[in-house]
Every structure is written in C-alpha cells, then in structure tokens.
Amino acid sequence: MSLLNASNLNKSFGTDVIFSGISFEIQENDRVGLVGINGSGKTTLFKLLTGEMLPDAGDISKSNSTVLGYMEQHVCRDLERSAYSEVLTVFASLLQLEEELNGINLQLQTKPKNIDELIEKQALLNDRFVAFGGLTCRSKARAALLGLGFDDEQMGMPIGVLSGGQKGKLQLAKMLLSGANLLLLDEPTNHLDIASVEWLEDFLRTYSGSFIVISHDRYFLDKITNRTFEMENHRLTLYKGNYSAYLSQKDENNLAIQRKFDNTQKEIKRIEGIVAQQRQWNRERNIKTAESKLKMIDRLENTLQKPDEKLDSIHFDFGINQRGGNDVMTTDKLALSFGNKKLFQNVDMEIHRGERIFLIGPNG
C-alpha cells in the first residue's frame, strides 16, 4: 500500500533552482536512504513532505492511514520536566486511560450501586489499554533512553540542564516511539556514540513502518536501507538496494550513458563527413541526400544525453615542513573534574611519531 506519493515537485529560492521534476512513491516497509552532497536539497524535500514549505509546482499526497513522524514536531518545551517524563508524553493517551482505570478501581472498592456498569466500562478500557501497548509503554520509554546513551541519573534530570545533543536524543526517542508509520530522519546519528548508533540500527531493522533517512554514514545506510534516492544536479534518481548497491548501479549507469554519448558523437561525425562529401558533388541528388543526413543528425542530437559533469571534490594536504621527534606527547596521572563531577583520573599515556589513535567511549 502506498503511504506517500510525490509528483513533479519543483522548488527554487529566487533564481536558485533546488530541484525540479521530482517524483517518487513510498510503500509500506520501504527503508529509503536519501543521499546527496550538502546543499542538494535533501532537507528542503523533507520540509515539503511535512508541510513546513510548499512546492513551487507539483503535488504531494498521503494515504489516510499515513502518520508522519519527524523530529521538529517533538521539540522539548517544558524545561522543568525530567527526560524520562518527556519521552512518556508520546503515550499521553495511554497514561490517561491508566488514570481512568485507577479511578474506576477506587470506585469499585466502595461497592457502588452501579457496580455492573463500572465493571463493564473497566473491561472495555482495559482491553483498549492492553491493545495499544499500555503495559509496555514505560519499559519502551526507558529502553529507548538507555539505548540512546542515558543512564538512570540522566533520565531523572530536568531537560533544562541537558546538553543540546541530549535534547536532540530526546526528540529522536519521542519520534521513534510516537506510533508514526512513516519516519523522516535527518542525520539521526549526529550526537550518537557507537553503542547508540548500534541500538538505532537494531530499532530501525525491526521497525514495522517505513522511513526516509538522510545520512552521510554509508555503513549505517548499508545496514538499514533497501532503496536509495540520490539528489544530484537538481534531479532525484531512484535506485534499488542499499548504499553499496546504489554506488554499483550508479557506476554502471554512468558508464552506459558515457558509452552511448561517445558512440552517438562518433555517428554524428561520420554522418557529417557524408554531408560534406555530398555537398562537394553539388548535384540535386547529392543535395537531397545531404539534407536527409542533416535531419538524421538533428534527431541524434535531440536524443543525445550528455553525461553529468563530475562534482568537485575536496583534497587536503597536511604537508610537514620539519619532522618532529619520536616522542610526541606524554601524560602522567592526568585528571579533570568539574566541581564534584570527576571525569577521569590517573591517565598515563605516551604518543609516538606515526601513531594513529582512536579514542572511544560513551558521550559524557
């Protein structure tokens, strides 16, 4: 079943064309990686899909069953609320049902006259509470926060004292648990450490809905996507498979386009040679042949697809003018605290010339 359909979308800012003629469809269980260089229009496309922006032309339609999830709709506004309580707000309707059930239980203890009516209402509310996940909503909220790198102490902290990265994680947790069946994920691995990225990969692999994810992490995309949309040269090209499959298909497509272009150019030059020869003879029959060949050249040129120019790439050169010594840096019993919060102590380390060192650990 189709969840979302986009047809011939165009978007410009003044004279700057972002993209044009974009069309695609998102089906159930689609896992789409949206890739492209910075500035190619990926986030702009998301804003069109959420309604934050309107396209200059084209249409976007959603199924009646489509529930869109994106981080901006889950901004944390109550800075006094704890991180755990903030994530639980996505289950507000379930928590309200729970309160109603608790109220009915208290009434039943008093043995009221309408006890049969209350028991029937209790059964209906309890069935709804269980069916929509009321028994597991708290454990899901805690598991999501643990997976994204929060410990029990941080879960109880007011949002106002959390870092920007932690607030972003809260938004992500709320979106993942919101019940949406089509998620729009814009660089979701930003601010996540390795363990949190692995948790997110597992979550998305078992997620029952569809999602479109913007990411520059090819390994993350390879593990979670089954389709790839590429934004390049103001166009959107659709590929089957994950990021690695997309790269292979793109290379094959580019090679085929280049070969066809080269062969067509050779054919045009060959026909131009015939035209020049026929004109030299300058007879009526030769002139008609030349005119026919010129029309053939026009048809070839009209169908000629020129290969896209290769995008500029960045090259770095960290040249060394003078070689240093073998001992680059030494630390002896290094320690650091902020007030009563001790970050580390007794750090002894030696770094030598030519070493490449990977420093890992959870955020904070």
Model pLDDT for residues 143-199, shown as the tens digit of each residue: 999 999 898 999 999 998 888 888 889 999 999 999 899 999 999 998 888 889 999
Report the Cα 269 to chain-centroid distance in Å: 46
**Residue 124 reports pLDDT greater than 70:** yes
**pLDDT reported for residue 7:** 95
CA distance 121 to 100: 10
- Kind of pairing between the strands at 227-232 and 235-240: antiparallel
Q: Using alpha carbons only, what angle is made at residue 271 by residues 266 and 273, rounded to the nearest 5 degrees?
A: 95
Tokens of 200: 């997110």
Facing residues of 229 across strands? 34, 238
By the 8 A CB rule, do 90 and 176 touch? no
Of 234-243, 310-319, 323-332, where does mean pLDDT reach its minimum?
310-319
By the 8 A CB rule, do 74 and 266 touch? no
Report the Cα 195 to chain-centroid distance in Å: 19
CA distance 136 to 26: 29
Choose from 209-218, 292-301, 337-346, 355-364 the range with maximum mean pLDDT: 209-218
By the 8 A CB rule, do 216 and 205 touch? no
CA distance 125 to 212: 35
Q: What is the pLDDT of residues 329-346, one digit of tens each?
A: 999 999 999 888 888 999
CA distance 235 to 237: 6
- For the chain, what are the domain ranges? 257-303
- Locus of tokens 């955020």: 363
**pLDDT reported for residue 331:** 96
Backbone region of residue 133 per phi and psi (left: phi > 0; alpha: psi in -120 to 50; beta: other values):
left
* pLDDT band (50, 70, 90) for residue 311: low
Q: Which residues of 278-296 are buried (b: 16+ CB within 10 A; e: fewer)?
A: beeeeeeeeeebbeebeee
- Kind of pairing between the strands at 57-62 and 2-13: antiparallel
Facing residues of 69 across strands? 183
- Locus of tokens 């979302």: 4
Q: What is the pLDDT of residues 41-93, one digit of tens each?
A: 999 999 999 999 999 999 999 999 999 999 887 778 888 999 999 999 999 89
What mean pLDDT do residues 236-260 have?
Answer: 88
pTM over 0.75: yes
User: Which candidate, 232, 173, 214, 239, places its Cα nearest to that of 46?
Assistant: 214
What mean pLDDT do residues 289-313 have?
Answer: 76
More confident residue, 253 or 84: 84
Of 68-72, 169-173, 247-251, 307-311, where does mean pLDDT reach its minimum?
307-311
CA distance 43 to 37: 11
- Locus of tokens 């280049």: 258
**pLDDT reported for residue 45:** 95
Tokens of 340: 């009563």
Facing residues of 62 across strands? 4
Mean residue pLDDT of the chain comes to 88
Q: What percent of the chain has pLDDT over 90?
A: 52
User: Which candidate, 116, 122, 123, places its Cα nearest to that of 104?
Assistant: 122
**pLDDT reported for residue 87:** 93
